[in-house]
Amino acid sequence: MIGAEVTFDVPIPKVIWGWLVSTNMWAKSIATGSFFLGLYFINKYPEQDRFFRKWLPILGLIFIGITLLVTILDLHHMFRFWKIFVHPHFTSAVTLGAWVVSGFVIILLIAFWSWLTGKRKLFDKVMIPGFILAFFATIYTAGIMGQATAREVWVFPAEMISMLLSALLAGSAAYLVIDAIFNHPLKEEIRKELSYILFGSAGLMAAMFIGELVFAKMHSEFAHKVIQILAFGEVAIFFWIGMFLAFIVPMIFVGIYTQKKDYKYALYGSLSALVGLWFIKHAWLIAPQSLPLS
Amino acid sequence: MRLGFLVDLSRCMGCMACAVACKAENNVPLHSWRLRVKYIDQGEFPDVKRHFVPLRCNHCENAPCERICPVSALHYLPNGIVNVDHDRCIGCASCMMACPYNAIYLDPITNSADKCTYCAHRIEVGLMPACVVACPTHANIFGDLDDPESEISKYLKSHRDVMVRKPELNTHPKHFYVRGSTVALDPLASERPEGFTLFTEVKFLDHIGGH
């Protein structure tokens, strides 16, 4: 006897988490990445901290706001979201994420107030708790993916590194775009450092994805199937557009910028990275959901 | 008490009485299933075989759905059943992402997660689950795994070919299959071609809910 096929079954849902969740991860990367890099540059270049003290809370609040909005919209009982605070189940990364992000929003509001009123010390006092909350806000989604036992290739330690790299990529790209829009208030040294961070995080993330393409088939039949769907199947278009826009284009353009000192290449590379990041996140979210589970 | 299920696949004839009884007992809406029976055809004519596999929640001892639920809507009952509190569910679908057996659905009417509860409401008053009562061949065997005299315990002891779905995931399912096969229990061991086949259209739903 050879071959076997399902001849009778009920329709089962394929995609459970869609574009709203991809947007959640994308926006959160920008919010936390701009926080990490903002803290770093405020401390490294105190003479130019006005730029970061202003844009850290603005970028953070806008993009964490988008994150929270799409998260609530994705709930099938969106008006019950408050239950996560009154009936928390702390074994769940979803619960931990909700609490951590709420704390992170408070830190961002303090940073915003500090910038508005000019009370710098206010923000200085919450930098360390802010860093800790931003760190956990970045990686909690990796925890959710790790707890999603049904889905192949979402493995916790690797997802955590990938999320942190996404944050660095998105944060550096966001600051380079803001710098370009407002006629380059940043000094050359900072811009160059942001470009190196963008280049490095894009390179490392690309290496992680290529590593999955090569090695996943050695893990299990399920992982192999997911990678086939990702690279050659129904989400391949998202995946390859993401690979090209998020990693390859920014690395080339940032490389040209550092050689030619032509700012517009840094802007193009950053915009490409931000757009591409959504595509790659979306492909990575959908592919494991395309496997039949039963 | 640890309630468990066992399906003797050599007895199942794919009549769907269990699926119909489950739908009727639990008011399961259209396009949603707590229990379904999958048909798998294997081989090439004239050497062919048909497998029937009833699929329902495995009530895992280490349930990923319970662990990931942010509000404890999915919770253990003292008898080992993984139960759902519809009023507490926020509809995040994390449980659906975590369940490796595709046993949870979002009820399109209540918008809450739902699944097989081993008919917890019937067990509470001393009745058997609806699917067990409806099965004409007694393929569904239900009982207390902690009681060595229960039918399920005796069945498990007397059969060497006991299988569970996806044991490698360490979920410790309390739903067993006897006289099963990889073709019947491993979703990648059989193709799931979309389109019209025997009586119905095998397909995936594109998405759930309104977005």
A292 contact residues in B (CB cutoff 8 A) = 102, 187-188, 192
Kindly state whether residue A214 falls inside one of the protein's structural domains: yes
Grouping H, G, I as helix, E, B as strand and the rest as coil, residue B89 is: coil
Buried residues in A30-58 as b, exposed as e (16+ CB within 10 A): bbbbbbbbbbbbbeebeebbebbbbbbbe
Q: How far is A290 from chain B (nearest CA, A)?
A: 9
Task: Answer whether residue B175 shows pLDDT above 60.
Answer: yes
Contact call for A12 and B205, based on CB within 8 A? yes
Nearest alpha-carbon partner for A238 in A12, A14, A19, A13: A19
Kindly state whether residue A68 falls inside one of the protein's structural domains: yes
Quick one: pLDDT band at residue B79, thresholds 50, 70, 90?
A: very high
Q: How many domains does chain A have?
A: 1
Residue of chain A with shortest Cα separation from B195:
A7
**Interatomic CA distance for residues B23 and B115, integer angstroms:** 11
A205 Cβ neighbours under 8 A, 6+ residues apart = A162, A165, A166, A169, A246, A247, A280
Report which secondary-structure segment, H or E, holds A94: helix A93-117
Kindly state whether residue A4 falls inside one of the protein's structural domains: no
What is the interface size between A and B, counted as CB pairs within 8 Å? Answer: 200
Q: Residues B122-133: pLDDT tens digits?
A: 999 999 999 999
Task: Answer whether residue A232 shows pLDDT above 60.
Answer: yes
CATH of the domain at A214: 1.20.1630.10
Average pLDDT, chain B: 91
Contact call for B38 and A9, based on CB within 8 A? yes
| Nearest CB to B91 within list A9, A77, A221 | A77
Backbone dihedral angles phi then psi of residue B181, each to the nearest 5 degrees: -155, 165
- What local confidence, expressed as pLDDT, does residue B202 receive? 66
Kindly state whether residue A8 falls inside one of the protein's structural domains: no
**Interatomic CA distance for residues A38 and A32, integer angstroms:** 10
Kindly state whether residue A245 falls inside one of the protein's structural domains: yes
**Interatomic CA distance for residues B90 and B106, integer angstroms:** 11
Question: Can you list the positions of beta strands (E) in A52-94?
Answer: none
Contact call for B39 and A8, based on CB within 8 A? yes
- What local confidence, expressed as pLDDT, does residue B206 receive? 61
Count Cβ atoms within 10 A of the Cβ of residue B68 and give its class: 0-12 exposed, 13-18 middle, 19 or more buried: buried
A224 contact residues in B (CB cutoff 8 A) = none
- What local confidence, expressed as pLDDT, does residue A2 receive? 59
Domain of A260 in residue numbering reads as 19-290
Task: Answer whether residue B211 shows pLDDT above 50.
Answer: no
**Interatomic CA distance for residues A49 and A121, integer angstroms:** 13
A84 contact residues in B (CB cutoff 8 A) = 70-71, 90
Quick one: pLDDT band at residue B210, thresholds 50, 70, 90?
A: very low
Q: Residues B183-202: pLDDT tens digits?
A: 889 888 887 777 766 666 66
* Other Cβ atoms closer than 10 A to B55: 27
**Interatomic CA distance for residues A126 and A142, integer angstroms:** 25
- What local confidence, expressed as pLDDT, does residue A261 receive? 83
B211 contact residues in A (CB cutoff 8 A) = 18, 20, 73-74
Task: Answer whether residue A75 shows pLDDT above 50.
Answer: yes
**Interatomic CA distance for residues A72 and A144, integer angstroms:** 16
Which amino acid, A174? A
Grouping H, G, I as helix, E, B as strand and the rest as coil, residue A11 is: coil
Kindly state whether residue A227 falls inside one of the protein's structural domains: yes
Give yes or no for a contact between A274 and A219, defined as CB atoms under 8 angstroms apart. Answer: no
Tokens of A18: 């869609």
Q: Domains plus CATH for chain B?
A: 3-199 (3.30.70.20)
Contact call for B64 and A148, based on CB within 8 A? yes
Kindly state whether residue A115 falls inside one of the protein's structural domains: yes
- What local confidence, expressed as pLDDT, does residue B199 receive? 62
Distances from the Cα of A227 to the Cαs of A12, A15, A18, B125, in angstroms?
Answer: 21, 16, 18, 48
A42-46, A89-93, A254-258, B137-141, range with the lowest pLDDT: A254-258
| Nearest CB to A4 within list B69, B88, B183 | B183
The complex scores an ipTM of 0.91
Interface of B with A in 11-30 (CB under 8 A): 14
Kindly state whether residue A262 falls inside one of the protein's structural domains: yes
Nearest alpha-carbon partner for B143 in B135, B134, B158, B154: B154
